[in-house]
Chains A and B, each alone.
Chain A
């Protein structure tokens, strides 16, 4: 065996310093934990800033936020919500149209903390094998949940959805939901790399559709500087989104347009050459890709 490769990001830490090489990761964890805390100070200290959970929340009795996915299921089950929920849906859709649908997954969703932890442990334990389920399976899952809602006339997926189970459980009592969440954790750890969030979760699939046209994107203003260290691929939870933009496959501009990019920003962190940066989907001044333009095999 050759010596184990340096952990991804080692070069970036050397080049930019630890803090700069972890900036987006830290900000992302702050966002995830901060949102949880906003919900938790109510039940813990009686300080009601936000009431409810990710399905619907009411902030300071002023700002309604509703999960469009659960409302779509409710509509398919032939129930129309009150105006407050519809307002909440509009605000949330607008927000994710701006910041990218799957930003929900990496910046808000509590299950991401769990699956990121599983992935970290998987790498640490050197677990290599991974079951194969294709990534589009999540869209089949999404379709299945919508069909289930229409056929059963109830929001059937909410019975088992680990995402809402965790979030609701933290504020209203977990019950046996911990077993479901443990199953997700162990699945990601032992069975499949990025198994739940990257292949199966219908919530993520739904938000990826919302984010197809979103404004905020990871751009590659300096893609010519790429030295093929592969660190970005190693840290990316959806590595298939990087290649077209990085290698200019089929004339792709230096812009990640794939709907499944979660805008987690980890690629920006770990790149020692500062190839990546957040930007909008517009103004793609395509810098020429030196040396690798034709290198990518089909």
Chain B
């Protein structure tokens, strides 16, 4: 018995040692792979997924890195991530500043996807949410500087819905209007045409991933004017008219301004209406 047991015990020890070695080695490798995969789940902001892409966490599980979306894109805007790029190796993306999405009506990239990574229920390209354009730099945007650049507004495929030009008074000149490009998230598809076309050296409007671009109101917030409209009338009953505390003989009416008998009391100078354009007051021209 002993003679037979000894070698088998040694063999068992050897087997257990070998198995432990193997399991530890493979386990370490697995840990590395797992951590690497976790890191890659944060998509770099400049990389935009094709239309219909699932949220990033699900995308890296559904995309099998076959590249059919890349092949079926008629404008060749898509790339597959190379191993050194900071996202899941082999997954598709485009960079808006290089080549934006042309928003094909038949969405061939989604049709080509053999998995659910690009959501096949997306039938209307205008409903896609690849990201959200954000006018990130108010200091360099030409429209903010008072010019009528308007390029982002003009190139937008969802013109007048995704980007509108909202007039504001130009406080610097005192007499001009600023046409502020304003992005509306419910219509912006994140195609990136605005970013591509922005004429500043570095784009002043950029498409960002939705999670970066969007804020969210706290769930208990209610917008008074919306609630009022919903209810068909004021929710505060009775609606109290605001009382202005004015000098004797003067009246102030919302929307109309001051009024009153000129002889009574000299009207206070109103800072909102300067006598001269600001440009002529100071030393700045």
Contact = CB atoms under 8 A, between A and B. Distances in A.
Contacts of B80: 168, 172-173
A158 B23 contact: no
Given A52-B67, A152-B34, A172-B80, A77 B88 contact: no
A159 B33 contact: yes
Interface in B121-157: none
A156 B34 contact: yes
Interface in A166-183: 168-169, 171-177, 180
B44 to A, nearest CB: 15
Given A53-B66, A156-B33, A140 B22 contact: yes
A222 interface: no
B59 to A, nearest CB: 9
Which of the listed residues B65, B71, B84 has the most CB atoms from chain A within 10 Å of its own CB?
A: B65
Contact of B114 (A48, A77, A84, A136): A84
B33 A148 contact: yes
**Closest 7 pairs (CB-CB, A-B):** A175-B82, A77-B61, A56-B66, A156-B37, A154-B60, A79-B62, A81-B115
A176 B62 contact: no
Contact of A81 (B30, B64, B79): B64
A137 B61 contact: no
Interface residues of B, number: 45
B26 interface: yes
B40 interface: yes
Contacts of B26: 137, 140-141, 143-144
Given A168-B80, A172-B70, A175-B82, A158 B115 contact: no
A155 B60 contact: yes
B87 to A, nearest CB: 10
B211 to A, nearest CB: 17
B113 A82 contact: yes
Interface stretch (A12-20, A64-72, A206-214, A285-293): A64-72
Nearest to A153: B61
B34 A153 contact: no
Nearest to A141: B26
30 contacts: A53-B66, A53-B67, A55-B66, A55-B90, A58-B68, A74-B61, A77-B60, A79-B62, A79-B117, A81-B115, A82-B115, A82-B116, A85-B64, A85-B115, A136-B22, A137-B22, A144-B29, A148-B30, A148-B33, A154-B40, A155-B88, A156-B36, A158-B65, A159-B33, A165-B89, A165-B90, A168-B90, A172-B70, A172-B90, A174-B82
Interface of B: 18, 22-23, 25-27, 29-30, 33-34, 36-38, 40-41, 57-58, 60-68, 70-72, 79-80, 82-85, 88-90, 112-117, 120
Contacts of A157: 33
Contacts of B34: 148, 151-152, 156
A10 interface: no
Given A77-B62, A159-B88, 16 more contacts: A48-B71, A53-B65, A56-B64, A56-B115, A70-B65, A79-B61, A80-B116, A141-B26, A148-B37, A152-B37, A153-B57, A158-B89, A159-B33, A159-B40, A172-B80, A176-B84
A42 interface: yes
Interface in A215-239: none
A66 B114 contact: yes
A interface bracket (residues with beta carbon within 8 Å of B): 35 or more
A147 interface: yes
A164 interface: yes
A176 B18 contact: no
B82 A176 contact: yes
A79 to B, nearest CB: 4
Contacts of B61: 74, 77-79, 149, 153-155
Interface of A: 42, 48, 51-53, 55-58, 64, 66-67, 70-71, 74, 77-82, 84-85, 88, 133-134, 136-137, 140-141, 143-145, 147-149, 151-160, 164-165, 168-169, 171-177, 180
B33 A155 contact: no
A143 B71 CA distance: 33
B85 A175 contact: yes
B18 A134 contact: yes
A164 B33 contact: no
B33 A52 contact: no
Given A52-B71, A82-B115, A152-B37, A133 B64 contact: no
Nearest to B62: A79
Contacts of B64: 55-56, 66-67, 70-71, 74, 81, 85, 155, 158
Contacts of A151: 34
B245 to A, nearest CB: 62
A180 B33 contact: no
B42 to A, nearest CB: 12
Contacts of A81: 62, 64, 114-116
